[in-house]
């Protein structure tokens, strides 16, 4: 069962809040010298705070699929942990920490969203986590404050694992199923980041991140037997 492997990987890669993050070493002066970057950290924290609503909605849509609901129970814990760590960092450097009222407002705006097609939504999640992983990887290299560098490294590692488990969940669902493969490719071609439910502009650490785009295309090709570029041409969209 996929849960066995995923739980093992999650346990082996787990980082501990108080043991692995040097909170006492945070340097607010260095952090505040990169205000634009902290704005991205804040938006990222808001997006991570959304997962108690988003994940439970996705789990309801997949309620009878034990493999998906079991691994998403771990993802939910880790995503909210990301929110907590990022917001704690903002509090320590005194840069616009997120309030409970803001969290409630984000949830209220999204209460009526429905998942019509679980396969398409699982693909959307996979692609969102893919780009989130690259965002935090780039953030870890752009941040000058050492503790934020380390936090971003930890989160990037989690996000790469999240996108992989979504891939692993989709694989048996698209095997020998042309409709499911087309659904996944369409979701990739018409991608809307999960974070767009929360913030007006999803944080990006590098505009048109070529490495992230190329690795996503390879992932789609492995999953569906066809790249997004090939699918776009077949759908009459030209290049993507």
Q: Summarize pLDDT for 117-164 with one digit per residue, the tens.
A: 999 999 999 999 999 999 999 999 999 999 999 999 999 999 999 999
Q: How many residues would you count in the chain? A: 240
Tell whether pTM > 0.85. yes
pLDDT at 239 over 50: no
C-alpha–C-alpha distance, residues 91 and 145, integer Å: 15
Tell me the pLDDT band of 35, cut-offs 50, 70 and 90.
very high
Does 237 have pLDDT greater than 70?
Answer: no
User: What pLDDT sits at residue 36?
Assistant: 96
DSSP 195: G
For residues 33 and 11, give the distance between their C-alpha atoms in angstroms, rounded to a whole number: 35
- Region 29-34: what's the mean pLDDT? 98
Contact 184, 118 (CB under 8 A): no
Contact call for residues 203 and 155 (beta carbons, < 8 A): no
Residues 201-219 have pLDDT tens digits of 999 877 778 899 999 999 9
Q: Is the pLDDT of residue 183 over 90?
A: yes
- Over 90: is that where the pLDDT of 240 sits? no
Domain ranges of the chain: 27-234
Binning pLDDT at 50, 70 and 90, where does residue 52 land?
very high
Q: What is the CATH number of domain 27-234?
A: 1.10.620.20
236: tokens are: 């009459």
The C-alpha atoms of residue 56 and residue 63 are separated, in whole angstroms, by 10
């Amino acid at each position: 069962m996929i849960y066995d492997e995923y739980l093992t990987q999650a346990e082996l890669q787990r980082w501990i809040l108080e043991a692995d993050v040097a909170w006492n070493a945070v340097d607010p002066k260095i952090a505040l010298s990169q205000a634009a970057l902290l704005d991205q950290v804040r938006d990222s924290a808001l997006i991570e705070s959304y997962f108690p609503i988003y994940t439970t909605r996705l789990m309801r849509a997949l309620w009878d699929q034990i493999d998906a609901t079991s691994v998403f129970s771990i993802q939910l814990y880790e995503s909210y942990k990301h929110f907590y760590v990022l917001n704690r960092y903002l509090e320590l450097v005194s840069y616009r920490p997120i309030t409970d009222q803001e969290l409630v407002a984000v949830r209220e705006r999204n209460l009526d969203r429905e998942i019509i097609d679980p396969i398409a939504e699982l693909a959307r999640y996979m692609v969102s986590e893919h780009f989130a992983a690259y965002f935090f990887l780039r953030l870890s290299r752009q941040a000058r404050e050492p503790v934020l560098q380390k936090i971003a490294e930890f989160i990037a590692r989690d996000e790469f694992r999240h996108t992989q488990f979504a891939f692993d969940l989709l694989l048996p669902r698209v095997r020998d199923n042309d409709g499911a493969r087309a659904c996944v490719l369409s979701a990739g071609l018409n991608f809307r980041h999960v974070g767009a439910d929360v913030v007006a502009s999803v944080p990006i650490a590098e505009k048109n991140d070529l490495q992230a785009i190329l690795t996503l295309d390879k992932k789609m090709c492995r999953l569906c037997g066809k790249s997004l570029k090939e699918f776009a041409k077949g759908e009459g969209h030209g290049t993507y």
